[in-house]
Amino acid sequence: MLDIDATVIVTFVLVWVLVWILTKVFFRPLRKVMDEREDKLQTDLGLAQAALDESARRLHEVEVGLRSSRQEAEDIRAECELEALKEKSKLVAEAGAAAKAEIESARAAFEAEVTRLKEELRAKAGPLAEKIERKLLSRS
């Protein structure tokens, strides 16, 4: 059988004293540091998740704002195109009216010139006819 002597009891007591000292000096501070580290990690993870959620929310706001801005820009562009087309048709109409006025002015000047030349030709036709008549009559 086993003999239990004083060395077993001394060893047993020394082991328990060593466990007690190690618990007080090493294991409790280590557990405390590990628990603090775990708490800090959990806090940091929570803060990181909150930051991710906030950045996703802000990204969504930016995308919504960008869509809205694009639509506003498209509306402004369409409005400018419509305004430009109106201005173009107005300018074309004005140019057409100016061209018609110039054509009418040129036509009136041409008709006046034709009338003046007809009158001049009539004035010269009478004496010329008499001259031709005299020449023809003097030959006969």
pLDDT digits (tens, 9 = 90+) for 46-74: 999 999 999 999 999 999 999 999 999 99
pLDDT digits (tens, 9 = 90+) for 65-114: 999 999 999 999 999 999 999 999 999 999 999 999 999 999 999 999 99
| Helical ranges in the chain per DSSP H | 6-22, 28-139
Ramachandran angles phi, psi of 25, nearest 5°: -90, -35
Question: Tokens 């775990």 label which residue?
Answer: 38
Q: Which two tokens stand for residue 123?
A: 């004035």
Of 138 and 61, which is predicted with more confidence?
Answer: 61
Q: What is the pLDDT of residue 136?
A: 82
CA angle 118, 121, 125 (to 5 degrees): 135
